[in-house]
Amino acid sequence: MDKKNSVFIATSLDGYIADKNGGIDWLHSVSNPNSDDIGYLEFINNIEALVMGRTTFETVCGFDVDWPYNKPVFVLSNMLREVPESHKEKAFLVKGTLTEILRQIHEKGFYRLYIDGGTTIRNFLKEDLIDEMTITTIPILLGGGTSLFGDLPQELKFELIGSKTYLNQITQNHYKRVR
């Protein structure tokens, strides 16, 4: 089975994934009367498990909706001792280097992974462990917040393998790492 680490994330025009207060309400700033999923279902149907940072995990836990994932979620945290009782069957703490973490997840039989969370994505990129990125751009300038990208020890070349427009406002580009 091919191993693949994929990112699927929305950013502001100025490249932020959360605003100055850590908020993500701006993700819904484009009118979406028919609740278009903006490519999310097709993406999520093709992955086997999620790997997310503790901040993103806590953000999702705080949403006023049922748990949105029907696949295992591996949560990266050095701080958490255990996941909340309510999420014990759905989310699993993982620790260690990214290579160790990936080995543990692959040994459990999950190969196509959704990598989520700002720090987490940047850490994966620093070690050149991201194979594909789908980046959805919301037409808003936030002026500050949590950046998606950061410093890298080396350039990483990607090729564009698809590009779509949603709701006449949102662009979505799908990039593949050129190795």
Ligand X SMILES: NC(=O)c1ccc[n+]([C@@H]2O[C@H](COP(=O)([O-])OP(=O)(O)OC[C@H]3O[C@@H](n4cnc5c(N)ncnc54)[C@H](OP(=O)(O)O)[C@@H]3O)[C@@H](O)[C@H]2O)c1
Binding flag, residue 116, ligand X (CB under 6 A): yes
> From the list 105, 110, 118, 135, which residue makes contact with ligand X (rule: CB under 6 A)?
118
Tokens of 1: 């089975």
**55 exposed, middle or buried (CB, 10 Å; 0-12, 13-18, 19+)?**
middle
Question: Scanning the structure block, which residue is given the tokens 């994929």?
Answer: 6
Q: What is the per-residue binding string for ligand X in 68-107, x denoting contact by CB under 6 A?
A: --------xxxxx--------------x--x---------
Angle, to 10 degrees, between the axis of helix 54-62 and the axis of helix 118-126? 150
Binding flag, residue 172, ligand X (CB under 6 A): no
Binding flag, residue 10, ligand X (CB under 6 A): yes
* Binders of ligand X in range 124-163 (CB under 6 A): 146
List, in sequence order, the alpha helices (H) in 13-140: 40-45, 54-62, 98-107, 118-126
Cβ pair 94, 120 in contact under 8 A? no
Number of residues forming the site for ligand X (CB under 6 A): 27
Binding flag, residue 22, ligand X (CB under 6 A): yes
**In whole angstroms, how close is the CB of 124 to ligand X at the nearest point?**
9
**In whole angstroms, how close is the CB of 164 to ligand X at the nearest point?**
16
Beta carbon nearer to ligand X, 49 or 76: 76
Specify which residues 58 forms β-bridges with: none
Cβ pair 74, 92 in contact under 8 A? yes
Which residues contribute to the site for ligand X (CB under 6 A)?
9-10, 17-18, 22, 24, 27, 52-56, 59, 76-80, 95, 98, 116-120, 123, 146
